[in-house]
Amino acid sequence: MAATVREYVEGVRGGSIDPREEIPRFLESARELQKRLNPFITINESVEFKTEGALAGLPISVKDNICTKGIMTTAGSRILEGYVPPFDATVVSKIKGEGAFILGKTAQDEFGFGTFSTNCAYGIPKNPIDTGRSTGGSSGGAAALAAAADFPHIAIAQSTGGSITAPAAFTGTVGITPTYGRVSRYGLIDYANSMDKIGVIAKNVYDAALGLSVISGYDPMDSTSANLNTTDFTKSASPDKPRIALPKQYFLSTTDRRVAELVIRTAERLESEGMTVEQVDMPFTRYSIPAYYMIAITEASTNLAKFCGLRYGMQGELKGNFDEYFSKVRSEGFGTEAKRRIILGTYARMSGFREAYYIKAMRVRARIIREFKSVFQNFDAIITPSMPILAPRFSDIAEMSPIETYNMDMMTTAPNMCGLPTISMPVGRIDGLPVGMQLIGDHFAEERLIGLSQIIEGLQ
């Protein structure tokens, strides 16, 4: 069996590997993983692939909030049960165009609302390293599969406020969250339009960079798509003498000391390799969680209005007036966290409150963007822990309040709400559990970031 994505794709293109012989085994392995870890909502048994292209014959999993023609797409929510899109999202057309096939749709927190993939309507994905612990969320199924697959595979994931970084960190995989606008959102079931980004999770930087190369690029179907040429990110180069910033606000006492120390030791190692590493001050970081959640719930509450049991997914018996029908379907179809966010978000954008909450949060975001921009005048990358804790046990998550859970996003909300690209990569283990380090770059500086992460990967 081909060990890596690269060898497999080259083998398929060169004719030394026949996907028809390999794919039944990949599917068998996927079904076994499903029994043990529940990474899928749907496994796709109708396989179509090509023997040419950058992903020739490669199995790709797709997070369940990304539309796939003919394959059920639920965004992890009961309210979309049975919804089969009549079209492919742009990223899905792109991966198919490069020869890949869709292995399945991966488990996630409902609509992306969560940090631990425990707000799931179709079962909770489990961490392959310890099945009593979370995979992280909301792209938990994608990361569990990327970590555990014993076949070549890349996962297409998505982040609004940290949903690629958190699961990559907890499963010891590499997650790339691109700059907002780098990858088309056409066909993504929106969570918060001004922050949603489609990205990738894979076993190593090369595989993740390959996936990003295929899915990125301008798309006239997405009005926020950046008008840039496509790039082969696998050929990314690091700056000659990288300058790295360590913001002190990301290493506070609220972060597990062991995690913070491991990231600092990694930074010291980079310094001994000739890179410049300096501490910086980013005082506006502390406003990122409140501003992020205000923007996120406000946008989410309007996006979820279209799920009323008429056009998509779940339908009830048509009884009573529209409000009665709508309330009944939504009461049954949405989970607790989705309801919480709809209620809070609707309140925050009521006339009279809009200025005080949503608009103010947007202003705070603009201020945080300026703070990042001033750091990037002197540095190529910012390094932080990916998550403030190690992968938590399900029993500990059950004890957390919503606010405690939201606070777990302290590393990821600021770069995500500012549309900046990030990479989460494993930098070691503590008590057998992986620790992720987050690299944050300036807008559209993915190449520099990927080049740098390849160097860091090589040092380990």
Q: Summarize as ranges the residues that interact with ligand GLN (CB under 6 A).
A: 112-115, 138, 159-163, 191, 296, 409
Give min distance, CB of 191 to ligand GLN, in A: 6
Give min distance, CB of 159 to ligand GLN, in A: 4
Nearest residue (CB) to ligand GLN, 9 versus 201: 201
Give min distance, CB of 365 to ligand GLN, in A: 14
Out of 117, 139, 159, 163, pick the active-site residue: 163
Q: State yes or no: is 301 an active-site residue.
A: no
Give min distance, CB of 91 to ligand GLN, in A: 16
8 A C-beta contact, residue 99 and residue 51? yes
Strand order in the sheet with 59-63: 40-43, 101-106, 59-63, 154-159, 197-202, 174-177, 422-430, 433-440, 381-385, 243-247, 276-280
Fill in the amino acid letter for 220: P
Out of 77, 134, 138, 139, pick the active-site residue: 138
CA distance 346 to 336: 15
Using alpha carbons only, what angle is made at residue 437 by residues 434 and 443, rounded to the nearest 5 degrees? 145
CA distance 54 to 47: 18
CA distance 118 to 100: 30
Give min distance, CB of 25 to ligand GLN, in A: 33
Q: State yes or no: is 134 an active-site residue.
A: no
Can you read off the two tokens belonging to residue 86?
Answer: 């009549």
Residue whose C-alpha is closest to residue 95's, from 63, 137, 138: 63
Q: State yes or no: is 163 an active-site residue.
A: yes
Out of 63, 94, 96, 126, pick the active-site residue: 63
Give min distance, CB of 101 to ligand GLN, in A: 26
Residue listed under structure tokens 């995989």:
173
Residues 6+ apart with CB under 8 A from 20: none
CA distance 237 to 226: 22
Can you read off the two tokens belonging to residue 176?
Answer: 């790339």
CA distance 299 to 294: 9
What is the dihedral angle through the alpha carbons of 210, 214, 218, 223, rounded to the nearest 10 degrees? -100
Q: Which residues are catalytic?
A: 63, 138, 163
